[in-house]
Amino acid sequence: MSESIIQDIQHKLNNKEVSCVQLVQEKIDALNASTKNANNSILAESALKQAADFDKQLASGKQLSGLEGIPFGVKDVYLLKGTISTASSNILKNYKSPYTATAIQKLIDAGAIPVSKENCDQFGHGSTNENSIFGTTKNAFDDSKVAGGSSGGSAVNVAQKNTVFSIGGDTGGSIRQPAGYNNVFGFKPTYGRVSRYGLMAYTSSSDCVGPFAETVKDIATTLNVMSGKDGKDQTSVESTSIDVNAFSKDIPAGTKVGVYKTFINHPSLDPSIKKEFHVLIEKLKDSGVTVKELDFFDGDTLTATYYIIALAETASNLSRIDGIAYGNRAMDKDSLASTYLDTRSEGFSEESKRRIIAGNQVLSVGYSDEIYKKALTVRKGIEAKFVKDFNEVDFILSPTAPSLPPTIGQSLKDPLNMYLSDMYTVGFSLGGLPTLSAPFEVANNVQITAAKGKDEEILRFAYAIEQSL
């Protein structure tokens, strides 16, 4: 397999083996022909115009580099000026973006060409990509199975090679889980490494911007462009650039990996996933990696803690979307109260309304101290445990999800079970840790996690595994 699809494409562009217009047109044709329902809108006109500009530069002797001329997809929770940005919701189905999200703008400034706004669970509310006014996104390899969520459309487009890379959003696993269901790389960076400005907020304390790609190097290349401090996002932080060309195919001597016993021994873990995970662990041992079993919070506690906090922040964040200043408004009502009520009732899906109501409940008088504040305390305990664990090991490995992709419609009948499918991802989100979902050995991918700020170390380690398997 290629080490970098991006570099391969640029080599062809620079050698005149294909024009940028041809490349973009091929992707647009593939997006239009796809039967997976992965796209909310296809940006053909603007993409072809950008491609023609690059062809002119190539004709004048310029050599493309970085991300110049590379077509990519954008999850439809990011603002992109002049496009309809819906969050796959009814309340924003006609909302035209007045500006572009910082991360997306950085990619465009680097020469990447957005070709699609991609289907997702409404406002990120879901783990299956079934909670969308545009309908369900189908798994890249099986039309009867879900694509995963909430960034399902982004994962499917990369898996089908309809985009070279795509930008998703990960709050509790929304990049990592669909990456696993569709056998591609998906990366959630350290919280704050990439600006959230222009991302429609779900849970502000754990929302992260991250890429999907077919190779580790392409993950690193796109991450480099998006990273950095942004004055429009006070949670963003400075970061050093990752030297992609310095990646080694050898796993560093003395590498220590941790495995959480509570994850591997959880009764909901599919036996086939457990078996495949152990095979990978044994291969790493054979490569000289030291593996240590660690204790951790059980999956049920992690899931409960995450969702209490996430639901509370959801209720707060979505309170601003009422159809008055922007968005679709219920018309011809007899009072302001009924206008607000009907607008939000008609505008949000059942799943989103469920989360808003539950979030208001945990924040209400009499429940806040009993539920919400306790969850915040548990979160601090989780963060402290991570600090302790990463003093003992370099990385933590775990399955991305406990089960194989469910059949379409199955999770809608049992929302609680859908929430529990996130039990292996949400803990790392609560800790703000960088985590890569990688298609190594395990059917649903394996997660590689490190301490805060160790994004490069994860990608170096993953590259060595990628090249050795």
Whether residue 355 contacts residue 315, with contact meaning beta carbons closer than 8 Å, is answered with: yes
CA distance 359 to 368: 10
Residue 468: CB atoms within 10 A of its CB come to 13
Residue 256, sorted as left (phi over 0), alpha (psi -120 to 50) or beta, turns out to be beta
Task: Specify whether 75 is catalytic.
Answer: yes
Buried-state track 108-141, b at ≥16 Cβ within 10 A, e below 16: bebbbbbbbbbbbbbbbbbbbbbbbbbebbbbbe
Out of 150, 151, 166, 429, pick the active-site residue.
150
Extract the tokens encoding 316. 């707060």
Return the CA Rg of the chain: 21
Q: Which residues, 6 or more positions from 451, have their beta carbon under 8 angstroms from its beta carbon? A: 386, 387, 390, 433
Out of 27, 34, 41, 75, pick the active-site residue.
75
CA distance 198 to 78: 6
Considering only CA atoms, which of 359, 429, 375 is closest in space to residue 174?
429
Extract the tokens encoding 299. 């999956």
CA distance 128 to 131: 8
Considering only CA atoms, which of 296, 300, 309 is closest in space to residue 429?
309
Extract the tokens encoding 78. 């990011």
Task: Specify whether 236 is catalytic.
Answer: no
Within 13 Å, how many C-alpha atoms sit on residue 187's CB side? 32
Sheet holding 435-438, edge to edge: 39-42, 113-118, 71-75, 165-170, 208-213, 185-188, 435-438, 446-449, 395-399, 256-260, 290-294
First to last CA, the chain: 11
Q: Tell me whether strands 165-170 and 71-75 are parallel, antiparallel or unpaired.
A: parallel
Task: Specify whether 150 is catalytic.
Answer: yes
Considering only CA atoms, which of 319, 393, 310, 336 is closest in space to residue 124?
310
Out of 174, 195, 227, 236, pick the active-site residue.
174
E strands, 246-289, are 256-260
In the chain, % helix, strand, coil (3-state, to 5) comes to 40, 15, 45
Positions marked active-site: 75, 150, 174
